[in-house]
Amino acid sequence: MTRSMGGRTGRASGRTAIEVIGLGKRYRRRWALRDCTFRLPAGRICALVGPSGAGKTTLLSLASGLIRPTEGVVRAGGADPATASGRVRTAHLTQGKPLYPRLTVAETLRMGRELNPGRWNGARAERIVRDGQVPLDARVGTLSAGRRTRVAFALALAKEPELLLLDEPLADLDPLGRHQIAGLLLAQAAEHGTTIVLASHVLAELDGICDYLLLLGGGRVRLAGEVDDVIGAHALLMGPHGTSGGPPQGIAGGSPRGSAAAGLPPEIAAHTVVDAQLTAGQLTALVRRKGPFTGPWEAVEPSLEELLLAYLRAPDAPELIAPSAEPVSPRLRHKPGVPGLPRNGPAAGAGAVPVTRTGPAGRGTPHPAGRPAVAGPAVYDQHNGKGAVA
Amino acid sequence: MSTTAHQGTGGRAHTADGTQETGRAGEGGGRTPLRGLVWLVWRQHRAAFGALCLIVIGGAVWLAVLRGRMAGYLDAHHIAGCSLISLDPRCAGTQEAVSDFRGAYAPSLRYAAMGLLLFPAVVGVFLGAPLIARELESGTHKVVLTQSVSPLRWLAAKTALPALAVLAATSALSAVFAWVWQVGGDEVSGTYWYSVLGFNALGPVPVAYALLALAVGTLAGLLLRRTVASMAVTLGVMAVVQNLFLLVRPYLRPTASAVFPNHESVQLPDGSWPQQQGYVTGSGARLADNACASFTGDYEACLRDHGVAGTYYDNHPVSHHWPLAWTEAGIVLVLAVALTVIVFRVFKRRFG
């Protein structure tokens, strides 16, 4: 339902919420984020996913101006987030949602009004707090986690931000509270066109909320694009697999040409295998499609959670950056010795073949392993990472 | 384009909304004329400011009572300005009264001075150190820094307001103490201006140390990011600094030198801070105090052999008190300002 919201604004729409070019942040010796480049179109609800230590919190803090980058550029709404104009437009709910425990709820809201002069929507803040039956005269430190989260959200939303950055916002909520907050977010995006970035490692809570996806790994962007496009570019192939000896339980995926996916049937290895799992003689492989499917394999569209799990299991899988996620500004030339990986992948969405929910997708003659036969209406051109602006 | 519907179309509607908001927030936050960051910092540290207020009021009342009692005793026994051993004929036969006075009131006066001596460290430990450290420790600085205010303005409010409160409180305490000192200090109580307690409690000195302690605590908190560690470091640094100044203090200003010929008794005027003593030869050269100490023969002959014509006594007369106090306070204040500049530099580099 919510994924259709992606169609609200045009693909690679003119407005950009966040643009990040060659961004890096080093804490003492360790790089928390390195060579990070992407663009987030305005008006999306973006899931920011990655394993712990992938740089999610660092990226959000850089985007809200809480910390300064070691290298590279980050722009929020076209402005440096650490400037006055950038600060005004962005709301950032940091991890753990810190609030002053000694202040009452009313005082916390007053703080929001005092510190956001001319921008504070007090009525909205009070409505959000009252809807959660949070007593105004209670000290924040005495509230339950769910109610405290509500106060933190009131503080963030009443600022009327154009960009809302949320770091693990639903982590300490019960299912009902999670549902309520999710509703609040969807309403915010629908009514005000706010761009929302939601960092989380609870994959299930992202499905149904987010229409854009940003997967971080090892401090870099691994997946970026519309959820629908990213999912559409992949398929989950399933079928019995009974070769003698058999491949190991988890087959290392992540080879761009499928050459390392030894032991996999050629029909599967023809595609970019992200991750393959063998359970009780049943092979399940998440592949990036490179043409029609052949062989006795059932191809289904993966869920967002399945897709993300596969990528999290295979940290070396090739990256996939949709055109809408390519920066508009020219890339920085930095460090000639470290060439960026080819930012390739199918032109997301452009004539993507719909994957049938059930049944094998076409039974043709098997291709020779290695080079896929380009067939059908799908045109998978190599994308060089530039000029992806609509 | 976002929410014009909520805010109304003109400034009038917005103002109406604002006043309504003020009234409602008044229920929880109390009505104060303060605005913006000043309000927030006041609200956050109002317990500390209240404690400062109580200390000032309590201290002032106690000192006023002490002064009244002292003045009454001095008047009744006519011993104002008399020392235990005094050459002043006015003070003849008052030894017992002075001794009783010292027994009765000198401890209280010393406690008061002790309080002013330790007050800076208390300020640094309980107000300065947690000022930034507690925010960094609990992550609450992110709440403020993700609003629409610039980090440096927040830091400015966060340091200026406590600094003003500490300045006012310490100045008041120091003034009241000086008022008491006027009556019961120096000769009659035997606690002189140059004593550790007296000097650290009089005039601008405690004020400067209190501001330095605040700056030390703030910087320690910013660098260490942990409240308890910052408190300990602040206490240690203040102890070291105050002790260092004890050693340096006599040299902050050149001493005055009194010379007594051989036939005169060596007696400095009342209230002089004795420093270096020794012999002067007829030619004006100085001899160390112990020039004849190891001489086993005739001591007088030794002095004659050296051509000693008299005794010199370097000292800081009473008139040196305020120049010395202002010099020390000035140096301490410069230190405090320097640390505050470092605080702002570090903060700017870290948070922009």
Q: How many CB pairs under 8 A join A and B?
A: 113
**Are A312 and A375 found together in one domain?**
yes
pLDDT at residue B223 is higher than 60: yes
Asked whether residue A341 is domain-assigned, the answer is no
Residue B272 has pLDDT above 60, yes or no: yes
pLDDT tens-digit readout, A1-24 = 444 443 444 444 578 889 988 898
Query: Does residue A120 sit within a domain?
Result: yes
B28 pLDDT more than 60: no
A24: in domain: yes
Interface test with B, best of A83, A87, A136 (most B CBs within 10 A): A87
**Record: contact A66-B142, CB cut-off 8 A:** yes
Q: Which residues of A touch B144 (CB under 8 A)?
A: 115
Q: Give residue B124's pLDDT.
A: 96
Instruction: State the greatest distance between any 2 C-alpha atoms of chain A, in Å, as a whole number.
Output: 72
Does B5 contact A at CB distance below 8 Å? no
Residue A339 within any structural domain of the chain: no
- The answer to whether residues A51 and A103 belong to one domain is yes
Note which residues in 21-40 of chain B have CB less than 8 A from chain A.
21, 24-25, 27-29, 35-37, 39-40
A243 and A220 in one domain? no
| Contact assignment for B29 to A119 by CB distance below 8 Å | no
Q: What angle do CA A261, A267, A270 make, to 5 degrees?
A: 60
Q: Same domain, yes or no, for A173 and A284? A: no
Residue A83 and residue A22 share a domain: yes
Cα angle: A190, vertex A172, A20; to 5 degrees: 55
How high is the pLDDT of residue A262?
55
Do A312 and A365 belong to one domain?
yes
Which of A97, A100, A196 to substitute to test the interface with B, most B CBs within 10 Å?
A100
- Rounded to an integer, the average pLDDT of B236-264 is 91
Round to whole Å and give the CA distance between A326 and A37: 8
- Closest residue, chain B, to A136 (C-alpha): B28
The confidence score (pLDDT) of residue B27 equals 40
What distance in Å separates the CA atoms of residue A39 and residue A225, rounded to the nearest whole number?
9
Tens-digit pLDDT profile for residues A264-310? 777 777 788 888 888 777 888 888 888 777 777 888 888 888 888 88
What's residue A10's pLDDT? 40
C-beta separation of B122 from B234 below 8 A: no
Q: Helices B46-77 and B151-184, interaxial angle, to 10°?
A: 10
Q: Residue B250: is its pLDDT beyond 50?
A: yes
Whether the CB-CB separation of B131 and B49 falls below 8 Å is answered with: no
CB-CB under 8 Å, B17 with A98: no
Give the mean model confidence (pLDDT) for residues B224-243.
Answer: 96
Contacts of A159 in chain B (CB under 8 A): 147-148
Q: Do A110 and B29 touch (CB under 8 A)?
A: yes
Based on the fold, state whether residues A260 and A117 are members of the same structural domain.
no
Say if residue A52 is in the same domain as residue A155.
yes
From chain A, the residues in CB contact with B36 under 8 A are 114-115, 117
Q: Give the pLDDT confidence score for residue A132 in this predicted structure.
A: 85
Cross-chain residue pair A107–B35, CB shorter than 8 Å: no
A160–B37 CB contact, under 8 Å:
no
Asked, for residue A278, whether it belongs to a domain, the answer is yes
Closest approach of chain A CAs to the CA of B13, in angstroms? 12
Shared domain for A86 and A149, answered yes or no, is yes
Q: What are the beta bridge partners of residue A299?
A: A237
Considering only CB atoms, A192 lies closest to which of B2, B24, B44, namely: B2
Give tens-digit pLDDT for B169-186. Answer: 999 999 999 999 988 877
Q: Judge whether A337 lies within some domain.
A: no
Is the CA virtual torsion B5, B11, B12, B15 positive or negative?
A: positive
> Inter-chain contact A106–B29, Cβ cutoff 8 Å?
yes
HEC profile of B96-110:
HHHHHHHHHHHHHHH
Query: What digits encode the pLDDT tens for the residues A297-350?
Result: 888 888 888 888 888 888 888 888 888 888 876 655 444 433 443 444 333 333
* Tens digit of each residue's pLDDT (9 = 90 or more) over B59-115: 999 999 999 999 998 888 888 777 777 777 777 777 888 888 888 888 899 999 999
pLDDT of residue B321: 92
CATH number at residue A200: 3.40.50.300
CB contact under 8 Å between A87 and B140, yes or no, is no
In tens, the pLDDT along B287-341 reads 877 777 666 667 777 777 778 888 888 999 989 999 999 999 999 999 999 999 9
Query: Looking at the structure, do residues A224 and A266 belong to the same domain, yes or no?
Result: no
Cα–Cα distance, A61 to B146 (Å, whole number): 10
Instruction: Show residues of chain A in contact with B16, CB under 8 Å.
Output: none
Q: Give the domain range for residue A99.
A: 2-228
Confirm if A275 and A339 have CB atoms less than 8 A apart.
no
Q: Is B149 on the interface with A (CB under 8 A)?
A: yes
Mean pLDDT value across chain B: 85
Q: Is the pLDDT of residue B130 over 90?
A: yes
**What is the C-alpha separation between A380 and A382, in angstroms, rounded?**
7
CB contact under 8 A, B148 and A116: yes
* Structure tokens that stand for A38 in this block: 């992407």
Residue A154 lies in a domain: yes
Nearest CA in chain A to B8: A121
First-last CA distance in chain B: 30
Same domain, residue pair A182 and A38: yes
| C-beta of residue A8 within 8 angstroms of C-beta of residue A44 | no
DSSP string, A188-240: HHHHH--EEEEE-S-GGGTTTT-SEEEEEETTEEEEEEEHHHHHHTEEEEEEE
Among A370, A367, A381, CA closest to A292: A367
Q: Mark whether A187 and A285 lie in a shared domain.
A: no
The residue with greater pLDDT, B14 or B200, is B200
How far from the centroid of its chain's Cα atoms is residue A26's Cα? 22
Percent of chain A with pLDDT over 90: 18
Closest Cα of chain B to A384: distance in Å? Answer: 36
Per-residue pLDDT of chain A (390 residues; tens, 9 = 90+): 444 443 444 444 578 889 988 898 988 888 888 888 888 998 889 999 988 888 889 999 999 988 889 999 999 888 888 888 888 889 999 988 899 999 999 999 999 999 998 889 999 999 989 988 899 999 999 998 888 989 999 999 998 899 999 998 887 778 888 888 888 888 888 888 899 999 987 777 777 788 899 998 877 888 899 988 888 888 888 888 765 444 444 444 444 433 344 567 777 777 888 888 887 778 888 888 887 777 778 888 888 888 888 888 888 888 888 888 888 766 554 444 334 434 443 333 333 334 433 333 333 334 444 333 333 333 334 344 333 333
Could you tell me what percent of chain B has a pLDDT over 70? 89
Chain B residues in contact with A112 (beta carbon < 8 A):
147
pLDDT on residue A13:
52
The answer to whether A100 contacts B21, with C-beta atoms less than 8 Å apart, is: no
The pLDDT value given to residue A289: 82
- Chain B residues with CB-CB distance to A63 below 8 A: none
Whether residues B28 and A126 touch (CB distance < 8 A) is answered with: no
> Is A126 within 8 Å of B17 when comparing Cβ atoms?
no
Q: How many domains would you assign to chain A?
A: 2
pLDDT of residue B280: 86
Q: In the prediction, which pLDDT does A16 show?
A: 86
CA distances from A183 to A2, A172, A210, B1, B32 (A): 11, 17, 12, 22, 37
Residue A114 and residue B35: Cβ atoms within 8 Å? yes
